[in-house]
C-alpha cells in the first residue's frame, strides 16, 4: 500500500456498475472477491460480471437501526444492538440496454417479439413469428440457422431461448426473467422474458454473428431464435428481478472503492428522470432504486447485505 | 506544481502525436509534435498556427487534505488559416479537426497519469516517476474567434495534483 496516498480521500469522477446473475432456483448469488479481483480492468470485468456502464446519482442509504439497551435508574445505555438491518441503493443508468432496462424496471422485462402478420394486438406484443431452431455448431457468439438466417438482418436484436412447454417456477436461460405461477399457453413465453439477447453484427453462410456473446453462453439444441422489435415493461406486474451488483469508483491515484451487493431487488417501479441535453433537448435517464437482501459471509457466517472494500494498486 | 505542469504537457504532447503524427512544428530548428508551452518558449510576436499552445493561468492550493491538492487552469490556444492549396477555404475543417484531436486527447480514459519529475533532464539525467498521479477535467472548448484570415479557439482544462513533500 502506498503510504503517500492511503490517507487521501478518493477523488472520483464517476461510478461504474456491473451485473452478475443470481441463481434464483438455488438462491445462489454471484460473489465478488475484492482481494482477488479488486483491480480488474474496468472495461473487462472478470466472468461472469457484465459491464452496465457508467451510472450517475449513485446514492446509498442504510436503514439499519441501532438501539441502545438501557438499564438502571435513570436508564443508561449499557450496550447496543442492531434491531433491524436494511440498505437501499438509488442510481441512474446512463445507457438504455436490455439489462439496464430490466434492472430499472425491476420486474419482467418483455422482449417485443416480431409479430405474425395480422396478429391480434397485445400490450406486450402479439403472437410472434415462429422461432427458428438452432443447428449444430452454434456458439455463444455465432448462431447456425441455415437458410433461415436470411430472415434476419444485420443490426437486428434476437433472443435465444427454449420453447415454453408448461414449465412452472423461474424461467429464462442465464438469468431468470420471470416466475411462472400457473401454466401458460404461449410457446414463446420464455423468449418473451429471456435476458439471453444479442444484436446481429454479421450474417454469412447461414450463420449470424452477434456483437457480444450470449449471456447464457453456448446455446443448447433446444433453444430457438426470435427477432426482437424492442423491449417492454409493465407497471403492475408481479415478478421481482434480483441481481448481484458491483459498483466501482476509481480514485485519481489508482485506488478504488467497491460496493458489492450480492442480492439486489428493485424497490420501485420503472421511472425516468430528465437532464438538460443541450439544444433544448432533454436526456431521458432511467432511474432505479434497489433494496439489498442478505447473504451469509463464508468467512464467519455473518448475515450481511453489502460489502464495501477499499483497494489500492 | 511545476512537475504537474510538465507532466501534463508531456501527456498531451504524446497523445496528440499518437493521434496525428503529422501535426508537427519546427521550433528553434527542431521538428517536434505540435504542442508547446508558451512560458517555456521565446517571447514572440508571431503566433504559430496549427499547433496547440498551453498557457497556465489560475492556480490554487487546497491544504485541507492529507496532501495539499493543487488546482491549475490551463488554457489551450490554437488557430489555423487552413491550407494554401485550398486557399484557406478549409480553415473551418482544420479547426474542427484540432477540436477533435484535443477533445480525444484530454477526454480519453484514463484522465490521469503518473506524475514525473523532469528536473534531472537539465543535467543529463532522466525523468523520475513520483508517488502520485496528476488528473484533469474534461476539456471545455471556447467560442470560435476570427483573427484576420485565421480561425482561432481557446479551450480550458483543469489540472489537479497532490503536492508531495519537497515539491516546488
The complex's ipTM works out to: 0.80
pLDDT score, position A4: 53
pLDDT score, position A3: 53
CATH of segment(s) B2-162: 3.30.2000
pLDDT score, position B43: 86
Could you tell me the CA-to-CA distances from B53 to B12, B50, B118, B135 in Å, in that order? Answer: 11, 10, 20, 19
Closest CA to A243 of A179, A184, A177: A177
pLDDT score, position B64: 82
Query: Measured between alpha carbons, how far is B108 from B112 in angstroms, rounded to an integer?
Result: 10
Please state which architecture CATH assigns to domain A12-106+240-311: Roll (2.30)
Residues of A in contact with B167 (CB under 8 A): none
The tens digit of pLDDT for each residue in B143-165 reads: 999 999 999 999 999 999 999 88
Q: Which residues of A175-204 are buried (b: 16+ CB within 10 A; e: fewer)?
A: bbbbbbeeebeebbbbbbbbbbbbebeebe
Q: What residues does each domain of chain B span?
A: 2-162
pLDDT score, position B57: 95
pLDDT score, position B168: 57
- pLDDT confidence of B42, banded at 50, 70, 90? confident
pLDDT score, position A222: 96
Q: What residues does each domain of chain A span?
A: 12-106+240-311, 109-233
Whose cell is 543535467? That residue is B123
pLDDT score, position A106: 84
Q: For an interface test with A, which of B71, B129, B131, B141 has the most A Cβ atoms less than 10 Å from its Cβ? A: B131
Closest CA to A131 of A110, A109, A113, A119: A113
Low-confidence spans in chain A with pLDDT less than 70: 1-7, 313
Query: Measured between alpha carbons, how far is A77 from A224 in angstroms, rounded to an integer?
Result: 64
Residues of A in contact with B113 (CB under 8 A): none
Give the chain A residue whose CA is nearest to the CA of B107: A13
Inter-residue contact A288 to A103 (CB < 8 Å): yes
- pLDDT confidence of B32, banded at 50, 70, 90? very high
Subunit contact A8:B67, Cβ cutoff 8 A: yes
Tell me the whole-structure pTM to 2 decimals.
0.88
Amino acid at each position: 500500500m502506498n503510504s503517500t496516498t492511503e490517507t487521501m480521500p478518493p477523488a472520483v469522477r464517476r461510478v461504474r456498475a456491473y451485473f452478475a446473475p443470481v441463481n434464483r432456483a438455488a438462491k445462489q448469488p454471484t460473489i465478488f472477491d475484492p482481494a482477488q479481483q479488486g483491480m480488474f480492468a474496468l472495461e473487462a470485468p472478470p466472468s461472469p460480471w457484465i459491464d452496465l456502464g457508467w451510472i450517475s446519482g449513485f446514492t446509498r442509504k442504510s436503514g439499519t437501526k441501532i438501539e441502545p439497551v438501557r438499564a438502571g435508574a435513570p436508564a443508561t445505555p449499557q450496550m447496543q444492538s442492531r434491531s433491524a438491518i436494511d440498505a437501499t441503493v438509488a442510481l441512474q443508468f446512463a445507457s438504455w440496454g436490455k439489462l439496464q432496462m430490466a434492472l430499472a424496471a425491476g420486474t419482467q422485462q418483455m422482449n417485443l417479439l416480431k409479430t405474425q402478420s395480422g396478429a391480434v394486438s397485445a400490450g406486450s406484443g402479439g403472437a410472434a413469428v415462429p422461432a427458428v431452431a438452432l443447428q449444430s455448431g452454434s456458439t455463444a457468439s455465432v448462431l447456425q440457422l441455415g437458410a433461415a438466417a436470411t430472415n434476419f438482418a444485420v443490426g437486428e436484436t434476437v433472443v435465444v431461448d427454449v420453447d415454453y412447454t408448461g414449465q412452472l417456477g423461474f424461467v429464462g436461460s442465464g438469468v431468470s426473467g420471470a416466475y411462472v405461477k400457473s401454466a401458460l399457453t404461449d410457446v414463446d413465453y420464455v423468449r418473451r422474458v429471456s435476458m439471453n439477447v444479442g444484436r446481429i453484427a454479421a450474417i454469412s453462410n447461414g450463420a449470424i454473428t452477434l456483437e457480444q456473446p450470449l449471456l447464457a453462453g453456448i446455446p443448447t439444441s433446444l433453444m430457438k431464435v426470435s427477432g426482437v422489435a424492442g423491449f417492454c415493461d409493465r407497471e403492475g406486474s408481479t415478478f421481482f428481478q434480483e441481481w448481484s451488483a458491483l459498483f466501482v469508483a476509481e480514485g485519481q491515484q489508482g485506488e478504488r472503492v467497491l460496493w458489492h451487493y450480492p442480492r439486489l431487488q428493485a424497490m420501485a417501479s420503472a421511472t425516468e428522470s430528465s437532464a438538460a441535453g443541450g439544444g433544448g433537448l432533454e436526456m431521458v435517464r432511467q432511474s432505479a432504486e434497489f433494496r439489498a437482501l442478505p447473504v451469509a459471509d463464508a468467512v464467519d457466517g455473518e448475515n450481511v447485505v453489502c460489502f464495501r472494500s477499499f483497494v489500492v494498486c | 506544481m511545476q512537475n504537474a505542469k510538465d507532466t501534463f504537457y508531456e501527456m498531451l504532447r504524446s497523445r496528440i502525436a499518437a493521434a496525428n503524427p503529422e501535426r508537427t512544428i519546427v521550433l528553434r530548428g527542431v521538428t517536434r509534435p505540435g504542442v508547446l508551452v508558451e512560458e517555456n518558449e521565446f517571447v514572440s510576436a508571431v503566433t504559430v498556427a496549427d499547433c496547440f499552445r498551453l498557457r497556465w493561468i489560475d492556480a490554487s492550493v487546497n491544504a485541507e487534505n492529507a496532501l495539499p491538492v493543487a488546482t491549475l487552469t490551463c488554457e489551450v490556444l490554437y488557430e489555423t488559416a487552413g491550407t494554401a492549396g485550398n486557399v484557406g477555404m478549409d480553415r473551418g475543417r482544420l479547426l474542427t479537426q484540432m477540436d477533435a484531436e484535443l477533445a480525444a486527447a484530454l477526454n480519453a480514459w484514463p484522465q490521469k497519469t503518473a506524475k514525473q519529475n523532469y528536473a534531472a533532464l537539465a543535467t543529463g539525467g532522466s525523468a523520475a516517476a513520483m508517488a502520485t498521479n496528476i488528473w484533469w477535467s474534461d476539456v471545455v472548448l471556447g467560442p470560435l474567434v476570427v483573427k484576420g484570415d485565421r480561425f482561432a479557439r481557446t479551450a480550458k482544462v483543469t489540472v489537479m495534483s497532490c503536492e508531495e513533500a519537497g515539491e516546488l
